[in-house]
C-alpha cells in the first residue's frame, strides 16, 4: 500500500472532527487513512479503515478481543472500560503491522479521556522518531500515563472534541499542520555510530560529562537519559529494542524514589531489561543520597522534619537515611544477582553526588556506609559479576576514568 498518514478516533463521537483533520492533510498532498476505533454506535463519517478491520488485526493472531468488543456493542454499556482496553490492544497490533509494512508516515489521534487512553496505548508501541501527535482533552494535566517513555506529542484541545467551532477548528488545524511539518521534514541522519546509554542527574553531571566526552572522542554515540523514572525506563526500552550496545548506568537515583516513595520512581522492573539484554553494563550509585519530591510544600508530612534541600522552586531533595540505604542496597543486589552476563558495579566511597561531599548539605558518611556494606554483603560476586570500591566521590575525574576503564574492559567480551 501507499505510505500514508493515519488519522484515528472513536468515530461514533468524533467522526466529523476527524474528517476535518483528514481533509487538511489531503490538501497538503498526503495520502490519508481514516481509522475508526469506536466501540459504541456506528461511525458518523465513513472511515477508510473500519473498526472491524482493526479488530481483525488482533483476530488473525488468535486474539479474542474482536468477539468481546462485538459483544460489548450489544450490551447495556456496563463494560465500556473493558471494551476500550481491548480495542486499544487491537489498534496497537494493527499499527505495528502497518508500520512493519512501511505504510505509516505519521499518526494523529483525537480523544477525550477514553479515546486518549485507547490511542496512546498504540502510539507508545510505535518507533521513537515516527511522527505521532494526540489532540486530547486531558493534555493539560498529568500526561505521564499516556506518554510514558515515548515521544508522543500531546496537544490540549482547550474545548471538548465535540463539534467544529471557532476554537476547535483552530486547534485541529494547528495539529494537522504540525503533523504535516514533522512528516514533510525528513531527518538529516548523522553517520551511524554504536550507541551507549548513560544516566545522569544535575548532581552527577561532571562525572557523566567526562565519560561521555571521552567515549564520543572514540567514535561512540552517547545517549544520556535524565534519571527521572521515565528516563531509566526509556533507556531500557531502547536497550530491549537493540538500539544500544552498552550501558553506563551511573545515576541510579530512581531506585531511592522507588524504595522510599519519591516522585521519580524507577518502577519495579528497573535493571531487568539491561540484564536480559546481555550487553556490557557498568553501574554506579549516583544520587542515591537523595529522594525527590516536588515543591517544598508538597513534601509528605511524614518527611517534613527530615534533612531537606530545595534544589529549585519545583524540586525538593531529601537525604536518605542509613536504614533506607540498606533497603536500597538490598533492592539493587537482588536485581543484579539475576545477571548472567558480565557487569561491574563501581562504588564511589567519597560521595554519591555534588551534595554528598564534605561541606555540602547531604554529606553523611554513615548513611553512605550502610549502602556500601549492604551491597558488598548481598551482591554475589563472581567472575562475571564484579564489585569495585574506590575512595573517590562520584564526580572526581579519577572515578570517571575508572568507570570508563571498566566499561572498556567489558566491550570486547560483548
* Contact (Cβ atoms closer than 8 angstroms) between residue 195 and residue 203: no
Q: How many Å separate Cα 289 from the centre of its chain?
A: 23
pLDDT score at 272 = 96
Distance CA 148, CA 349 (A): 34
CB burial of residue 186 (10 Å; 0-12, 13-18, 19+): exposed
CB burial of residue 252 (10 Å; 0-12, 13-18, 19+): buried
How does DSSP classify residue 49?
Answer: B
Apex CA 360: angle with CA 354 and CA 365, to 5°? 90
| Domain boundaries for CATH 3.40.50.12020 within the chain | 4-184
pLDDT score at 58 = 72
Residue of 339, 342, 272, 262 lying closest to 308 (CA atoms): 262
Secondary structure element (H or E) that encloses residue 141, with its range: none
Beta bridge partners of 346: 388
How are beta strands 315-319 and 308-312 bridged, if at all? antiparallel
pLDDT score at 185 = 79
pLDDT score at 186 = 66
Distance CA 353, CA 299 (A): 21
* Contact (Cβ atoms closer than 8 angstroms) between residue 185 and residue 106: no
DSSP-assigned letters across all residues of 78-90:
TTHHHHHHHHHHH
Cα Rg of the chain, angstroms: 24
| Grid cell digits, residue 21 | 483533520
Q: Give the model confidence (pLDDT) of 138-173 as tens digits.
A: 999 889 889 988 899 999 999 998 888 999 999 999
**Which architecture does CATH list for 4-184?**
3-Layer(aba) Sandwich (3.40)
Residue found under cell 522492573 = 269
Distance CA 304, CA 318 (A): 9
Other residues' Cβ atoms within 10 Å of the Cβ of residue 386? 17
Distance CA 279, CA 64 (A): 37
Give the dihedral of Cα atoms 66, 16, 47, 112; nearest 10 deg: -30
* Contact (Cβ atoms closer than 8 angstroms) between residue 307 and residue 355: no
Question: Alpha carbon of 405 to those of 201, 399, 408: distances in Å?
Answer: 22, 10, 5
Q: Give the model confidence (pLDDT) of 84-127 as tens digits.
A: 889 999 999 999 999 999 999 999 999 999 999 999 999 999 98
Other residues' Cβ atoms within 10 Å of the Cβ of residue 3? 15
Residue found under cell 529494542 = 241
pLDDT tens for the chain, 414 residues: list them: 799 999 999 998 899 999 999 999 999 999 999 999 998 888 888 999 999 999 997 766 544 444 454 444 444 344 777 888 899 999 999 999 999 999 999 999 999 999 999 999 999 999 888 999 999 999 998 898 899 888 999 999 999 988 889 999 999 999 999 999 999 876 666 677 899 999 999 999 999 999 999 999 999 999 999 999 999 999 998 998 888 999 999 999 999 999 999 999 999 999 999 999 999 999 999 999 999 999 999 999 999 999 999 998 899 999 999 999 999 999 999 999 999 999 999 999 999 999 999 999 999 999 999 999 999 999 999 999 999 999 999 999 999 999 999 999 998 755
Side-chain half-sphere exposure of 96, counting CA atoms within 13 A = 13
Question: What stretches of 83-131 adopt beta strand conformation (E)?
Answer: 104-111
pLDDT score at 53 = 93
Distance CA 324, CA 319 (A): 10
**Which architecture does CATH list for 195-413?**
3-Layer(aba) Sandwich (3.40)
Amino acid at each position: 500500500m501507499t505510505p500514508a498518514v493515519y488519522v484515528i478516533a472513536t468515530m461514533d463521537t468524533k467522526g466529523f472532527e476527524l474528517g476535518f483533520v483528514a481533509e487538511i492533510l489531503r490538501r497538503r498532498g498526503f495520502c490519508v487513512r481514516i481509522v475508526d476505533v469506536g466501540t459504541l454506535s456506528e461511525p458518523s463519517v465513513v472511515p477508510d479503515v473500519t473498526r472491524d478491520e482493526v479488530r481483525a488485526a488482533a483476530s488473525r493472531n488468535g486474539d479474542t478481543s474482536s468477539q468481546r468488543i462485538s459483544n460489548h456493542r450489544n450490551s447495556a454499556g456496563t463494560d465500556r472500560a473493558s471494551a476500550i482496553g481491548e480495542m486499544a490492544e487491537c489498534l496497537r497490533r494493527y499499527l505495528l503491522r502497518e508500520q512493519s509494512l512501511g505504510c505509516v508516515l505519521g499518526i494523529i489521534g483525537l480523544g477525550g479521556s477514553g479515546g486518549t487512553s485507547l490511542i496512546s496505548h498504540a502510539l507508545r508501541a510505535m518507533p521513537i522518531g515516527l511522527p505521532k501527535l494526540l489532540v486530547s482533552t486531558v493534555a493539560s494535566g498529568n500526561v505521564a500515563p499516556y506518554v510514558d517513555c515515548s515521544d508522543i506529542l500531546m496537544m490540549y484541545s482547550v474545548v471538548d472534541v465535540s463539534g467544529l467551532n471557532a476554537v476547535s477548528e483552530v486547534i485541529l488545524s494547528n495539529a494537522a499542520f504540525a503533523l504535516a511539518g514533522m512528516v514533510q521534514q525528513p531527518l538529516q541522519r548523522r553517520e551511524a555510530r554504536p550507541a551507549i546509554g548513560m544516566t545522569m542527574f544535575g548532581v552527577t553531571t561532571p562525572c557523566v560529562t567526562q565519560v561521555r566526552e571521552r567515549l564520543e572522542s572514540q567514535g561512540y554515540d552517547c545517549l544520556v537519559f535524565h534519571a527521572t523514572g521515565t528516563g531509566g525506563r526509556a533507556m531500557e526500552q531502547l536497550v530491549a529494542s537493540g538500539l544500544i550496545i552498552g550501558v553506563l548506568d551511573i545515576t541510579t537515583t530512581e531506585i531511592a524514589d522507588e524504595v522510599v516513595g519519591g516522585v521519580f520512581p524507577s518502577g519495579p522492573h528497573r535493571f531487568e531489561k539491561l540484564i536480559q539484554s546481555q550487553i556490557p553494563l557498568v553501574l554506579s550509585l549516583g544520587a542515591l543520597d537523595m529522594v525527590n519530591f516536588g515543591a517544598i510544600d508538597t513534601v509528605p508530612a511524614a518527611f517534613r522534619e527530615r534533612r531537606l534541600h530545595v534544589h529549585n522552586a519545583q524540586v525538593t531533595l531529601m537525604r536518605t537515611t542509613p536504614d533506607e540505604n540498606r533497603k536500597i542496597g538490598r533492592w539493587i543486589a537482588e536485581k543484579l544477582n539475576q545477571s548472567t552476563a558480565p557487569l561491574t558495579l563501581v562504588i564511589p566511597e567519597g560521595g554519591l553526588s555534588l551534595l554528598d561531599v564534605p561541606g555540602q548539605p547531604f554529606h553523611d558518611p554513615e548513611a553512605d556506609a550502610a549502602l556500601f556494606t549492604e551491597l558488598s554483603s548481598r551482591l554475589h560476586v563472581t567472575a562475571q559479576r564484579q564489585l569495585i570500591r574506590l575512595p573517590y566521590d562520584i564526580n572526581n575525574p579519577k572515578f570517571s576514568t575508572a568507570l570508563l576503564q571498566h566499561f572498556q574492559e567489558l566491550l570486547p567480551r560483548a
